[in-house]
Structure 1
């Protein structure tokens, strides 16, 4: 099990010896050197600055935290125009994030994650805003402004932070009010696509012991796509008040609101997939690229012209179009309290929170229209106690309660199939946790942490699936040139009336299997009504833990090793035969080193990791096990994987005005076992994986399926190489200065779909940026000219096949450029 880790660890050790050892003696001399600052004044910080993080629920220097973490500063967020959660993937190499319909965001860290885009499954990466776990991936919008920092934790989070997560955590930490300070800032930006961004914040004292901070943001942009989808209309605001009645007691209350308008991007047609036949029958699938640019949306007339020519065998006709009007009308708000009370024995922290989301959105993609209306509410309470036992033991102990309730209705028009869903779901989670660190010597520390979690989930809902058929769906082909495509109607009643008024029966029994005297027909069109009813509950309990050791050669050079486990609860799907899925677990081994060298001008961090993933969950569009099967979005357990690699982070400050950085990640992530099933309806599945016919027993009877085996393939969203290079140069200009910044990121190729088709591979590419800023000496006023994605490379983001055999894909942002002006006071 540990051979892979030991191999990578050997390279890590060699790198550390080569790079760090010659400097350890020098570093020790620096630490012991006399303080040259004037008496009574703190020594001046030289070289690279220190960053405070709270990834372990206590404040500590990032360079002394024995865990893998990327810290993103506010300047980087502004540089990369980070306005939504998916934008973070442009900064941290370990993270892959993709925006979906409505406000949904899909996260993967080093190949671990899931494409959670509905209300009945939980994300594998914990998203925490202001210390509060956010249960819905649709509720991560409207928070990326006026921030202290963003922390991206890599690896399972099974002890202290939020709810359990197998892949990692994203912690978004707002700037907090400051006592006795009048200060503020604003930033205004304008760029191509009429991209308008604005952000402002003000901090005001209210007497000597109270302060308030108010901030807000706005983002408006035209669409990247020619059909007008993917435009942005967002605004948000936050208000905080902080009180410190005495040095031992603090209280902070924060409230925030965000609105997301605009529309989700529809995507573009990558190509067409058609079966081919030879003298002996089926000969394979042929892929024909459309040649469409990645900015040509699905509702563009040229895209609809292609779709309308495609023959849909199930309906026996051509003429389909995408004619919906995608939109977002989503509102989010929440309130958070935080009380801390310090005593001689320790510090008590109490953090209650309540959040709501009201979502209504429509999107296109592989559908004619998908629509969701959803109401979410969550209540959480976390209580922690941190203290010391003597001079050698630090400890934390605490508990968390989380309660979430969701009610929703949705329908997904796929031209030939429409499920109408109405459901409610709830989650109640309790957890108790603790962490103890024993300082064996002044240099060696040992840590043990554990967490017991109890998750209860309930689901009560109905999905009535309507499937259109032009007579017998099996060959020989029937033709129905006048059969209407599934209409854009909001209710089942209207949908049924639409067809029955035209003499087309709606029935729960396939008419072609009935004799003529019972209304059966081999040729007449009909609509099959297939209900899916779920009224179920799940209960999962798990103890997860972390063991770590840390050795400090000097206060700025240390090594650490850890073993930790993670757990992610099971859940539900609206899918017959696969209504529920089991929890997934992960074990992670980490060996790392963090170093500051050469008078604090070089920072070198190295991490080797080995993760063993069990009973992995995967969410995708696919078929359920009904008879006949329905196209659904479902989550299933697909098997196990092994993930290993090395992460190297280097920052160099050769002069006081020059800063260079490089972050390189090598990743070998593969599925040890990955098997899933697709219905056998005559033609074999379109996949690069091996497959074989078999049968499965379902509540509706025995059905024929293909067992698809993708074992041995690379994990999803796991490029072998990820690289970020950045440079910053200050040029003095009298009472002003110019700041030149530039950099590039590289991601090698990766897959994000379960069929591993070569034309759906995301090809490796470079994406570069550059900016020039003119500011005064104290950086109180600035103007910046910037360009992002200089190469105009738009990396492919997966693909889904629609009923007409066209592959719908999405891509990263195109080239953007503009100007930002701002002031700090």
Structure 2
């Protein structure tokens, strides 16, 4: 059946519509008489310039027109352009990336992303610092699979390369694009290239995106702008220097989310009988701060506090600023080319968000310094080589972070430091004509330091064990700006704040089974880690003809360990991946038909996974932590087809099939009377904390389940027709994006599963025949399908979830000179 589906998808891809494989504006010259064929796309995915059709690896290339057409403003929007990529926004400015089911939910400064994000050749350490970059670009490259040899660090699942347009010598040119749409969405991009004499040029560019929030409570609004300036100097024919500086501001607010449903325990004649889920029936644009949402939230009984009345009233906001400076020196000699790129980047973040929280708020400063040097050359026509090294230093200072969950609130302050060194090299040998053999390797040494304190406050109405205690006037955790303010709030009301649960103390020591109290549970971490790893790649490529080749490779990937604010599970180990790949890239029919296919098997070891869970404190606290959960196997096929049926007709399809399974996946949940709400197998067990206390736990085993964010079928289909009208032309575009159902929660609950959806788009563009100006009408998400992204249960038993964007439409105009 799966084979039939794959065949049907391949047969039907010329009849359907979807986002095209993008074309870079840096293209190799076409052969004479080849003007009817497809363009060659020049990429730098292997740190050298080459045609994407000659690179023996899987990558998607997205051009600037496609980024504009798909309304890509933030990194999270990139998932619309590639079937292999799943990206979503987290709390505040963070973005979570998964490629073919590999990734992690890096939504705080504790951990590093498993997908390397590179901007203008510079590795970006923080997933919260990927804003304000998607304008005046050459292209975006999405590399699918571990990048353990040539890219940055921690590229277990792949890399995203955002490559800006560079200054062009001797060229005076500019361009501008403006757009307006529903939700009062105003967008704009502009760029200006100016020569400075014969040997220098400057390029300045900027963007802005302002719109109202998609949700009924006004959350999710954008107030963003960015600027970039570059200077290119060709000092001699051999020596070129480029300097770049950029700045971005992210305002507005993150989306609060919506209430998907309520989860309640069921009790029968013999006791506990399971959990029930009741859908709220709320629209996915009804935000958590909407009065109707808060009415439901406040009606829910919270057993730990013994009352109803919780609300979400923290106001989300973003006030985040980013800037960076980089230099790139290229020195060309007869023996090879030296490239040196130093860079410095800084982010100052001040944001608040909701989700499962009454409010979460963070103030953070991120600073990173990096230097990368590469030497690329050849030994005759049969040997190419590249050697290089990289230094990366990152310091993060978080003087304030609070995550108010109404019943549990940690106040955190911490500093982290990362120092990473790497040396890498690649050697390609052509022993006979048409055959290329490649060996590449990278040694990485990571040193990390974490020093901080989390003051956790847990509110109780007496003993949490049955029988139920009731505290109808006990205040929920207030929106206090500090731990001292929270303590004063409760002690002034006669509610003790204590480091020991009162229900475990005898009355003579102040204990009580029924009196309310606040448990103060500090978590201090002062620790360091050092990880070292050698990763490598072996590949073979055979050129059957100048336009047809086959390749095979084996590659390893590595992602360093890190820390969590969690007692007993403060740190986690590195994860590794082994990737086996075989593929073929082809052009047929006089360069009018492109067919690329790749099959792959990934073995994912010691996988890191970030989620809400419980630490090994006594009693345990709810924390957001990263753990090594086990191993998985990921198999799949990628099929990319592009067909220029006529001079003015372009059809394309990108299809991905995934077969994923966790070979081992085990985690632990506290045993406080009721079993965990999960479809995975579980059994009671115990663990001993570092302090010697014995905790009652459930061992949850999700082995055999499919990997997160890995739908079985995904595809993008697109059709584009150009109609010449004398000195004008009309371009019609239509496309659809399909994602099968997938899981993003370790509980594997059916109502938290992302449903299968189609999201279609269309546009009509009138332009001059020479593309000097254009005017376009567009609609995105014609079906108004808002695919579920994920959800988490809050203290009142309500699932706070998030979804993709609703239908948008508008007009764009632009021109260039």
TM-score using structure 1 length: 0.95
Matched, 1:715 2:707: yes
d(CA) in 2 for partners of 1:824 and 1:143? Answer: 21
C-alpha deviations, 1:218-261, integer Å up to 9, x for none? Answer: 00010100001101100000000001011111000000000000
Matched, 1:488 2:476: no
Matched, 1:312 2:325: no
1:45: how far off?
3.9
d(CA) in 2 for partners of 1:165 and 1:655? Answer: 40
Matched, 1:674 2:665: yes
Matched, 1:736 2:728: yes
- 1:236 is matched with which residue? 226
C-alpha deviations, 1:379-424, integer Å up to 9, x for none? Answer: 0000000011122100000000000000102010000010000000
- 2:550 is matched with which residue? 559
Q: Secondary structure at the match of 1:137?
A: coil
- 2:270 is matched with which residue? 280
Matched, 1:119 2:73: no
After superposition, residues 514-553 of structure 1 pair within 5 angstroms as 514-553=505-544
- 1:619 is matched with which residue? 610
- 2:345 is matched with which residue? 355
- 1:30 is matched with which residue? none
Matched, 1:103 2:93: yes
- 1:771 is matched with which residue? 763
After superposition, residues 435-474 of structure 1 pair within 5 angstroms as 435-474=426-465
Q: Secondary structure at the match of 1:139?
A: coil
Matched, 1:130 2:120: yes
Aligned residues: 793
d(CA) in 2 for partners of 1:389 and 1:45? Answer: 35
Matched, 1:412 2:373: no
Q: Secondary structure at the match of 2:76?
A: helix
d(CA) in 2 for partners of 1:76 and 1:576? Answer: 46
d(CA) in 2 for partners of 1:747 and 1:76? Answer: 19
| 4+ residue runs over 4 A deviation | 41-44
Matched, 1:185 2:185: no
1:42: how far off?
5.8
- 2:503 is matched with which residue? 512
1:43: how far off?
5.6
Matched, 1:479 2:467: no
1:577: how far off?
1.1
After superposition, residues 331-370 of structure 1 pair within 5 angstroms as 331-370=321-360
User: Is the 2:38–2:644 contact (alpha carbons within 8 Å) kept by the matching residues of 1?
Assistant: yes
RMSD of aligned Cα (Å): 1.4
User: Is the 1:532–1:575 contact (alpha carbons within 8 Å) kept by the matching residues of 2?
Assistant: yes
User: Is the 1:378–1:403 contact (alpha carbons within 8 Å) kept by the matching residues of 2?
Assistant: yes
After superposition, residues 153-168 of structure 1 pair within 5 angstroms as 153-168=143-158
1:442: how far off?
2.4
- 2:213 is matched with which residue? 223
Q: Secondary structure at the match of 2:295?
A: helix
d(CA) in 2 for partners of 1:376 and 1:761? Answer: 34
- 2:139 is matched with which residue? 149
d(CA) in 2 for partners of 1:43 and 1:160? Answer: 37
d(CA) in 1 for partners of 2:236 and 2:52? Answer: 29
d(CA) in 2 for partners of 1:133 and 1:801? Answer: 35
1:67: how far off?
0.5
C-alpha deviations, 1:649-687, integer Å up to 9, x for none? Answer: 000001000000011111001101000000000000000
1:204: how far off?
0.2
User: Is the 1:322–1:368 contact (alpha carbons within 8 Å) kept by the matching residues of 2?
Assistant: yes
Q: Secondary structure at the match of 2:235?
A: strand
d(CA) in 2 for partners of 1:350 and 1:643? Answer: 37
Matched, 1:196 2:217: no
- 1:290 is matched with which residue? 280
d(CA) in 2 for partners of 1:517 and 1:702? Answer: 25
- 1:591 is matched with which residue? 582
d(CA) in 1 for partners of 2:603 and 2:351? Answer: 38
d(CA) in 2 for partners of 1:627 and 1:433? Answer: 46
d(CA) in 2 for partners of 1:348 and 1:111? Answer: 36
- 2:674 is matched with which residue? 683
- 2:619 is matched with which residue? 628
User: Is the 1:110–1:669 contact (alpha carbons within 8 Å) kept by the matching residues of 2?
Assistant: no
- 1:602 is matched with which residue? 593
Gaps (5+ residues) in structure 2? 15-29
User: Is the 1:417–1:466 contact (alpha carbons within 8 Å) kept by the matching residues of 2?
Assistant: yes
User: Is the 1:763–1:796 contact (alpha carbons within 8 Å) kept by the matching residues of 2?
Assistant: yes
Deviates more, 1:782-791 or 1:504-513: 504-513
1:44: how far off?
4.9
TM-score using structure 2 length: 0.96
